Structure 1
Amino acid sequence: MNRLLFRNTVKHRHCPKRLYSSKTLVQFENAQVYRSGISEPVFKQLNLTIKDNQHYVIVGPMSAGKTTLAETIAGRHTIQPVSAGKWPMIDPSISPYISDHIHLVDFKENGAFSYGNHYYQERFNFSDPDNDLTLQDYLGDFPIDRIHQVTEQLDIRHLLSLSFVKLSNGQTRRARITRALLKNPSMLVLDEPLMGLDVEHRHHLLDVLGQLATKSSVSVVLALRPQDEFPNWATDVIELKDMTIHSQGSPQHYLEHQRQLEQQKQARRQPEIDTSQNKPIVEMKDVKVIYNGKPILQDINWTVRQGERWALLGPNGSGKTTLLSFLSGDHPQAYANDLSLFGRRRGTGESIWEIKQRVGLVSPEIH
């Protein structure tokens, strides 16, 4: 695989011994879980107990039920019979509502575009200074010292005055986690929090959550993708398949099993195919992008040939999404640059829809 590389570091993580406690926080016993408007249960006979000093990771392939289980833990779905779902952690003297004790950050809101009537393409040219929501506006009315403390932890304090609509996907995700932490939850549930974060900030976020898990009374539950780095502070793993708990146990057992599967996959991998003589489908020459006098991309020269597989890597805010928007036909500055797609230079009469017919785009901002 070819790479456009800004920075990429990997560090190995070890898992701690499991901790046990007698205090139950959340419990499901043979529970039927129903989504609103659906007659069939999404989980049948769900059995799960989360105790204090336990920090769970929920894993599984796409559509296995990770998001639904995270939502169920946070009290988002109907439980039948009602007695099959219990939240002993709730202190009615503080609040009788589950949502005031368990904060779920699920990233279903599409970044800043949930806070205004903006289209995906508007991220690249949106400017309305009279109605701009800043990051500090988004975080809400908390003591400024507390805002500075948490935003510093998640490396977004320097973005507080920035328009929220201009944040990268990774920056937006860190902003949403920051807002949840500002509310001091008893349990924090995060659904795929590492998606969209660069390598450095993935490590950094896991470290921040690890401090929260090990140095406070907050319980942390993460729903992770198979490719995500595993946190060293997790005590328990739930593996889902087809909306069912396939296995549950220690991180050590799960990680050893994953290592064996990866070895088998590597043994079946076929050799690379030479694509150096294939026809170019993307050609960029000295591409530049400037917003309000500030360079976002400078002197990008990039050729992608038919059959090649590229990984575009770099920190949040480094311009990855902006660069990809040239390939999908969404960026208005494409016409001012030397860019050819599928053998045709941009601005020679082709429509944006002709380009989009040949490009498949999957993005956290529109998924």
Structure 2
Amino acid sequence: MRRGTVVMLIVLGVLVSGCSVGLDKGDIKRYVQREHEIKVEVPREPTLGAKSPSGSTTVISKDDPTLQFEVFFQSGIGPFFSSISGDSYKEKSAFNKLNKDYQNSPLYGEFKDAGFLHSKLVDSTFYSHDYDENEKKATLYLFKEDGFALQDSDYQMLFEAMPSILSIQELLSAANYSLEKIIVNGEEYSEFKNMYEYDNSSAQKFEIEVPVRNDLADIHSASDLKNLIHNDHYYGSLNTDTLVKKHFFKRDYPVFEDTITDIESLGFKRDENSYDAHFLSCENNLQNDELERINLTECQDYILFLAIGIENDNYKAIVTEEGLEKWWQMVQKLKSSTLNIHRVQVELLDSSIYYVDVAFEDVKSVQSKEDMKSIIMEEIGHLIK
């Protein structure tokens, strides 16, 4: 094949798939310095989504790390000719000042008196290239000791803060923002400087979202608020199971930490990309219409999600004496855990785009290596060459 043809094919592949926008961190920094006379950090390289005509990247002020905003760019003839089209500095810096004024106001003190040790207002508007289409929205973050648990006292505490929340709505309305939602999380996540820092911690795994509606003033009891949290979420329902799983993961994981460390030494790893929010998930199976049962004191059953790499797609190595011994040790460690691990699901990671799971539906019933091998072979027998 001629060299020119090869080059053209490479360029075409880049244009179709979408990758680097042709702008690097230095370009972004120089743009912000020129336009706004401030120095910024650029946490990640700017990229365009696959086949996307435009994109953005996050920047953070060096002088004031609480100020985070976006720089927008658009492609020309392919990503190699991208250019910067604008930014959200004006809107984000104005809201940043609004939050700082709030944190120095008596209203901030009201939440602190109610038991929320720290609170923060965050601009949650999705800023795009077309500013005229943006509906300005904000989120109220509340942080309390140990976060939001499953006790009636948590709902009562939030309900008693409702007059202050309504005052927040008025404050935001005066600045042409609507209160979109309230996030409640643990005190340990309260000191984040900006949302990039918050989003890159494990904070989102434990936050509880309270949707805000126009009839928020019609909430007259903690029970009303409880029903709003569980049954009126933006996507249909918060899903009571999700809240239960978050609560017990945070509470019980510390007693499992040594066990998971031992399991990882055998070559298994925690599978945090499973469909559940956490690799160790409580399976109490509560439904949204069972709110009266939500004040749980213990998790009845846990399901554990693990993953293990299959080197060179060699599934046969799993059922060798050495391979089975690792799985047997893993099962034994789970059976001796102080937590009630009922089900274990192991994702087998090979070079395929497909995936194969090995699931022990009742790990305590696995009494021998023969039992264990039989379960494994049911899933991978057809893959052994």
Structure with max Cα Rg = 2
Q: Report 1 or 2 for greater relative contact order, CA contacts < 8 Å, sequence distance ≥ 6.
A: 1
TM-score of the aligned structures, taking structure 1 as reference length: 0.22
